[in-house]
């Protein structure tokens, strides 16, 4: 297998010099770079399981080294210091570095010896893990083993499957792993498996910053799994309950509408658009997830059967709540509910039962926004109209309306 190296450093010039040295000696090596200032701290559960050696620049500093060495199973670290400070180098060794390199110019022969020494240390580390019986257990997800995916913890569990936080050794990154534990031939399990594969098929072909990235699909005799993008910042629910600035609301709703534009153009409905299915990244961008209820418009044979109600009642369009045929405008209605909640900090329709909420969606008046938010009323009316033909007819129209609103807040 090719050598896998993780370079953690912020200095562009120094990093490029290092990469040139590494590629000259190991042209087939797989090298990943992590920029501390741009990407922030390493995820808490990340142990670089798929890497052989880590090269840590002193721009990150000793605190990064100390954090890394506190994580069980992290690969050996070679500390790189530009200053040539022996004091810093000694401190790095005391903090657990396998070796260090000092000086602005990297000696390729010295670097090679350091990496070979670290590789020997990594081999010993893995042998010890095997002796402790950790070799296979780290790949266990419930009753199944998935090689190359290191299980961190279970996030959610259902009757037929579970969702886990995992570390992908091939990607060198944290992922969310949806695992269907069994693939029955008939009954509820078969429908679940069909929806599971549909989720992958729906989003694997869509590349857009506001749609979750799918990394891998795996299917075996007794299980299937999807590895997808991990969002450490959580979902949009964390932003709910507190009113936010109009500019922030426009920023969020614009991203959701952009995602709907893309999926609708591909002939896909989401059908369960809600804050829990809208994830936040560290840079503030949003991404839609959970397309298990999505439906391709061109497909006549519905996996779920006609008349079946899907979605969350609080965010469900009147036609969806009554089991009628839905189209893109149903997703736009759900976006309107989210818009209202972002603006006011509360849901527009509340009742004691789900059926009560569904009734209100179909019969209650569209709520009026308070005075300072009146500029959003036309947008809200165009999203929450009871009849689909009275709503915005496409996500593109919503984006146009948002653009006009944004000019008012400049």
Q: How confident is the model at residue 393 (pLDDT cuts 50, 70, 90)?
A: very high
For the purposes of burial, counting CB atoms within 10 Å of the CB of 89, is it exposed (0-12), middle (13-18) or buried (19 or more)?
Answer: buried
Q: Where are the alpha helices (DSSP H) in 286-353?
A: 318-321, 328-344
| Weakest mean pLDDT among 68-77, 173-182, 345-354 | 173-182
Three-class secondary structure of residue 285 per DSSP: coil
Domain end marker among 168, 202, 229: 229
Together in a domain, 15 and 118: yes
Residue-wise pLDDT for 90-136, tens only, equals 899 999 999 988 876 788 899 999 999 999 999 999 888 777 766 67
Strand 224-229 vs strand 173-180: parallel, antiparallel, or unpaired?
A: antiparallel
Catalytic residues: 272
Q: According to the model, what pLDDT value does residue 87 have?
A: 83
Strand 4-8 vs strand 30-34: parallel, antiparallel, or unpaired?
A: parallel
What is the longest distance spanned by two Cα atoms in the chain? Answer: 77
Strand 4-8 vs strand 53-57: parallel, antiparallel, or unpaired?
A: parallel
Domain end marker among 194, 229, 264: 229
Instruction: Note if the pTM is more than 0.85.
Output: no
Q: According to the model, what pLDDT value does residue 188 have?
A: 54
Q: What is the CATH number of the domain that holds 259?
A: 1.10.510.10
HSE, CB side, 13 Å, CA atoms: give it for residue 393: 1
| Dihedral sign (CA 383, 261, 199, 176) | negative
Q: According to the model, what pLDDT value does residue 157 have?
A: 85
Q: Is 332:260 a contact under the CB 8 Å cutoff?
A: yes
Q: Domain range for residue 177?
A: 138-229
Together in a domain, 199 and 327: no
Number of Cβ within a 10 Å radius of residue 131: 9
Together in a domain, 95 and 160: no
Together in a domain, 75 and 177: no
Together in a domain, 178 and 309: no
Q: According to the model, what pLDDT value does residue 133 have?
A: 65
Q: 292 or 230: which carries more pLDDT confidence?
A: 230
Report the alpha-carbon distance of residue 200 to residue 179 in Å, rounded.
12
Total domains in the chain come to 3
Number of Cβ within a 10 Å radius of residue 94: 10
Together in a domain, 242 and 381: yes
Q: What is the CATH number of the domain that holds 154?
A: 3.30.200.20
Report the alpha-carbon distance of residue 93 to residue 89 in Å, rounded.
6
Q: What integer is the mean pLDDT of 274-282?
A: 93
Together in a domain, 377 and 402: yes
Report the alpha-carbon distance of residue 136 to residue 19 in Å, rounded.
33
Mean pLDDT of the chain: 87
Together in a domain, 86 and 160: no
Q: What integer is the mean pLDDT of 306-313?
A: 54
Q: According to the model, what pLDDT value does residue 308 have?
A: 42
Residue-wise pLDDT for 202-242, tens only, equals 788 889 999 999 999 888 877 889 999 999 889 999 888 77
Together in a domain, 195 and 241: no
Together in a domain, 223 and 288: no
Q: According to the model, what pLDDT value does residue 251 have?
A: 94
Together in a domain, 298 and 249: yes
340: tokens are 């209202």
Domain end marker among 194, 211, 229: 229
Residue 146 in this model has a pLDDT that exceeds 50: yes
Q: 59 or 394: which carries more pLDDT confidence?
A: 394
Q: What is the CATH number of the domain that holds 125?
A: 3.40.50.2300
Together in a domain, 274 and 397: yes
Q: To which H or E segment does residue 381 belong?
A: helix 377-384
Find the radius of gyration of the CA atoms of the chain. 25
């Amino acid at each position: 297998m090719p050598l896998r190296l993780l370079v953690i450093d912020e200095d562009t010039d120094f990093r490029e010099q290092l990469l040139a040295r590494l590629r000259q000696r190991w042209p087939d090596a797989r090298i990943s770079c992590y920029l501390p200032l741009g990407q922030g701290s390493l995820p808490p559960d990340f142990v670089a399981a798929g890497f052989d050696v880590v090269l840590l620049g002193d721009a990150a500093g000793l605190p990064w080294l100390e954090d890394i060495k506190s994580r069980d199973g992290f690969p050996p670290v070679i500390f790189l210091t530009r200053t040539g400070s022996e004091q810093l180098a000694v401190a790095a060794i005391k903090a657990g570095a396998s070796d260090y390199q000092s000086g602005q110019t990297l000696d390729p022969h010295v670097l090679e010896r350091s990496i070979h020494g670290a590789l020997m240390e990594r081999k010993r580390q893995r042998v010890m893990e095997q002796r402790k019986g950790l070799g296979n257990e780290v790949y266990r997800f419930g009753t199944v083993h998935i090689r190359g995916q290191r299980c961190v913890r279970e996030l959610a569990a259902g009757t037929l499957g579970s969702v886990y936080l995992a570390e992908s050794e091939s990607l060198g990154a944290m992922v969310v792993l949806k695992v269907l534990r069994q693939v029955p031939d008939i009954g509820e399990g078969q429908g679940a498996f069909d929806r599971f594969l549909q989720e992958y098929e729906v989003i694997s072909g869509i590349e857009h910053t506001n749609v979750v990235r799918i990394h891998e699909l795996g299917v075996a005799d007794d299980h299937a799994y999807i590895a997808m993008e991990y969002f450490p910042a959580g979902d949009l629910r964390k932003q709910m309950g507190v009113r936010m600035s109009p500019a922030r609301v426009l920023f969020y709703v614009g991203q959701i509408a952009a995602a709907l534009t893309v999926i609708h153009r591909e002939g896909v409905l989401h059908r369960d658009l809600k804050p829990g299915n809208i994830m936040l990244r560290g840079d503030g961008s949003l991404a839609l997830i959970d397309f298990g209820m999505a439906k391709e418009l061109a497909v006549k044979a519905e996996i779920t059967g006609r008349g079946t109600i899907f979605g969350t009642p609080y965010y469900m369009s009147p036609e969806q709540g009554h089991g009628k045929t839905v189209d893109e405008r149903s997703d736009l209605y759900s976006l309107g509910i989210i818009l209202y909640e972002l603006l006011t900090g509360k849901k527009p329709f509340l009742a004691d039962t789900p059926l009560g909420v569904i009734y209100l969606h179909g019969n209650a008046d569209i709520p009026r926004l308070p005075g300072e938010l009146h500029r959003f009323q036309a947008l809200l009316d165009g999203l929450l109209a009871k009849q689909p033909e009275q709503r915005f007819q496409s996500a593109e129209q919503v984006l146009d309306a948002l653009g006009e609103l944004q000019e008012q807040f400049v």
